[in-house]
Chain A
Amino acid sequence: MERRRFLIGCGAGAALFASSKWRMMASPLSNLLPADNDHTFVLLFLRGGCDGLQLLAPISDEHYQDARPKSLKLSDGQGYRIDQEYQHTGFSFHPEASALKELYDNQDLAVIHACGLTNGTRSHFDAMHLIERGIEKNTSGHEGWMARYLKAIDSKSYIPGVSVSANLADSFTGYGKASSINNLADYNLMEGLRVPQLIKQMYSGDPIMGSAAEQTLETIQYLQTNLTDGQRADLERGIQGYPTDWSSRELSRSLQTVAQLIKMDAGAKIINVDYGGWDTHERQANVFPNLVKGLSESLGAFYNDISAKKDKVTVLVMSEFGRRLRSNKSGGTDHGHGNFMMALGGKVNGGKMFGEWPGLHPKTLDRGVDLAVTTDYRNVLSNILRNSMQFNNSSSIFPGFEGYSDLGFIQ
């Protein structure tokens, strides 16, 4: 055998065995256009229990002012005051939330306060489990609510449900076509191992990994055939127009991926993004401002990035619960109950607050310690499904939930 031929066969170094097999895999599905409704619902989950009472502070409430030390609350004159009182209470955004305030003032962002689980759990894992399954009582074996929705609309899109993270959000549990994508740019099999056909054969019919493997190969194929060179270059260049400081970097990267999926019309119906670190039991004053800054600036940059498509996107920001009104003795706050949710998008009736603000009088607090829940989280999700997603049968997505009402925050 000729040495030259042999070396071609072996390749050299890391660029070895480069023989892309994607052409073989190409199927008629590869350029599928987004199906029916082309709206995308982005759920931004603040994991750990965000202290809503410091992010959007009821500063005129005397019980609020009495319950916390200076470092864990906003006092009058601090932060960005919302012009109009809401239900006789004055609210201010945190000083690091200037981008959120701007979105609010531009009427793109609406706030629904005192939302959450009506189940009184104070456990992160319990609360997240319930919320991601769209239920209120713990019963085993439920699939995720996003899974139920995607099954119900029977989306023909290639990647209808996406977790922008290295793992799949529990809300997608039970839906084989959900994908997790951490980084679009390098979402491919390694050179030297581009053997989709072999993988397909190996995994076909595997009871544990079969459907996930198939979805992985399809996602790779879709992205590799549809990502334009320009988009790829954008992604490789890194975060353009997004904040890159330490506190914002991670969320910026995730939201940039979301923006790319939206801009490439990938047909994603629901996208889940996580932003963690909110479990501030101690030294909250040290970490909270950076978390808020990361949230506010990344979200602002994202909205700017997708501005041409903003009427096709609804973002909902939520957390599993709020934090206790009264702080603890180690400079933090413990697990609470009610919390804000924020909706952002072209269809949102922004610049307003919605829902019933129960106040912080000891008599109206949940169990005498926490902000009460006056709006079931499933009602907020149903409002988005019914309005922006034009899906009327929301009660099938949230079994047992009968309290639907039009909250008015979304067209």
Chain B
Amino acid sequence: MALDKALNRVTYGVLPEQLKKAEEQGWSNWVAAQLQRTTDDSTCDQMIQNISYEIEYKEGGRKKKKNLDLFRYFATSSEIWDALKDLDNPPEYLTQAGAIETALVTWTKAIHSEHQIFEMLVEFWHNHFNVSVQTEDYIAASFSIYDREVIRKNALGNFRTFTEDVAKSPCMLLYLDNAFSKSGPANENYARELFELHTLGAMHYYNHLYDDWKNVPVNIDGTAKGYIDEDIYEAARAFTGWTVGSGKTNHEVDLPSTGEFYYYDQWHDHYQKRVLGNEFKSHQNAMEDGQQVLDLVCYHKGTAIHLCTKLCQWFVSDTPSEELIAGAAAVWSQHAKADDQILKVVEYILLSEALMQNLQTKIKRPNHLVFSLARKIGLEPGIEWIWILSQMGWKQFSWPLPTGHPDKASYWINSDMLLKRWNCVPMMLYINMERGNKTRFMDETLKLEKTDIDSLINYWSMQLIGAELSSEIKREIERELLVEMEEMKGQEWAMLAKDYPDGLEYKLLQLVSMIALTPEFHKR
């Protein structure tokens, strides 16, 4: 079995030591160990502690720069709130730091963490429960809380718990407007996306039935197979009053100043409701309406299918088979109330035959492309990655729509995006070199026994894609490398290291950029 390709599917790039470990343990043991996260990850943790960055921001109309350590990422929500609320106009760096640091931590972990499958899941869930830090200052400021206490906390846990944590998170409450939803007419934004994106999915939307709830098809157990607009209207009513303690106080409102979830009874619509054919009594206890909706949607069969479809698309194929989805959904439902429900489902998917039959069919999204390059040649993330990734269409924590970044190749493969992908690798390498940062090029090249062009091409293609290139492609790369340098044909390139180290480094950069163009490097 193609273990290296399987690792390439579920990690941000195969490293030799990781492959060796997987070969020793065998695929299923390696997957289990990954999901249990038993491997020591202190090296990565230490790197995270050492993150520092420089940001530019405006203060009093003037541009300023500041060097910061990772100072917000591990802050508690009350520390973040305290820092913000003392100031009428919090300095921009304070609001941006939460988002920037979360991005830097995410990238560092993607590149260095031993727990690669976990990091892939964190990416999955951030997109599934998408929140854009561009929407509100407070979302940006407190985004680390969303990352640590909602997404990472639940990434392998229980979906029902996860969804309630999301529903109560200030980031989601502000992003999908539920924080402002009051009785009569309620704001439908969150409720609609809860059904359509977070749980049942549009595949279970019977929009043509609109208010005809009695005619929605039912499962054998009598539950509705899907939802209609009236379910959304009713659910929106159920979540009225779920807001953020923003400290607003006037004659109408009296919210505590915590920056955390707050249930404000005055805004709640207390009357009876009907969701998915279930009658809710009027005047239920605080938050009971909303929690009842979460029970109904999270334990729904349609949700099992929708979520398992997405997980199979993420790990197996853009078009997973119905059989695989049904198998995963059965595991999902069987463990609906287990603390490790998601872990069980992911393990089922990763150990399926289907995964092995579909290797190298997924397109790496731009962030993945960059991470894998970084893992292979030793690049470290910097704040400029926000811009580089956005050039390629990856908006780190800033995807405006609640759908999250698309997962399928059909979105990512088109002319503009391909061009940007091709250009990104040399651009990142140039930027890195201009800054005087080292990659592994020179050190590794000098260690090689033979450094003629053919050997160099073979070495770096093995590093990047784990295979040699065809002879026609090698010839074309060689021709390109030898432009105006014909004398180097058949020579050992290592001999240039002494007198022309910069030149050699540039040539290696060009070589690696060309190898990184190959379609194989863009797939997983």
Contact = CB atoms under 8 A, between A and B. Distances in A.
Interface of A: 1, 3, 5-11, 13-14, 16-17, 19, 119-126, 163, 165-168, 173, 178-182, 187-190, 192-193, 195, 197-199, 201-203, 206, 208-209, 212-213, 215-216, 219-220, 276-277, 279, 281-282, 326-332, 334-335, 367
A125 B403 contact: yes
Given A120-B210, A193-B514, A198-B480, A281 B189 contact: yes
Contact of A167 (B181, B208, B411, B419): B411
Contact of B410 (A9, A173, A329): A173
Interface in B377-429: 393, 400-401, 403, 409-411, 413-420, 422-423, 426-427
B415 A179 contact: yes
Contacts of B184: 329
Contacts of B393: 166-167
Interface string B207-243: 1101100000000000000000100100000000000
A10 B507 CA distance: 7
A125 B201 CA distance: 11
Nearest to B487: A1
B180 A282 contact: yes
Contact of A334 (B187, B420, B427, B513): B187
Contact of A190 (B411, B427, B472): B427
Nearest to B470: A201
21 contacts: A3-B499, A6-B496, A10-B507, A16-B430, A167-B416, A178-B414, A190-B422, A190-B426, A193-B513, A195-B476, A198-B476, A201-B473, A208-B519, A209-B409, A212-B413, A212-B414, A282-B189, A326-B185, A328-B188, A334-B185, A367-B229
A68 to B, nearest CB: 12
A277 B177 CA distance: 14
A220 B423 CA distance: 13
B131 to A, nearest CB: 15
A145 B91 CA distance: 48
A320 B372 CA distance: 38
B205 to A, nearest CB: 6
Given A123-B192, A190-B427, A10 B416 contact: no
Nearest to A124: B401
B83 interface: no
B416 A180 contact: yes
Q: Is the interface of B mostly helix, strand, loop or mixed?
A: helix
A208 B413 contact: yes
Contact of A208 (B185, B426, B514, B523): B523
Nearest to B183: A329
Given A212-B413, A367-B210, A123 B185 contact: no
A328 B416 contact: no
B187 A120 contact: no
Contacts of A167: 393, 411, 414, 416-417
A216 B363 CA distance: 17
A5 B207 contact: no
Contacts of B229: 120, 122, 367
B306 to A, nearest CB: 13
A192 B177 contact: no
B418 to A, nearest CB: 5
Given A216-B418, A282-B180, A119 B409 contact: no
B188 A335 contact: yes
Given A168-B414, A202-B473, A216-B419, A123 B205 contact: yes
Given A167-B393, A190-B427, A216-B419, A5 B414 contact: no
B500 A6 contact: yes
B476 A197 contact: yes
Contact of B422 (A122, A165, A189, A328): A189
A17 to B, nearest CB: 6
A177 to B, nearest CB: 10
A63 to B, nearest CB: 16
B182 interface: yes
Interface in B414-471: 414-420, 422-423, 426-427, 430, 434
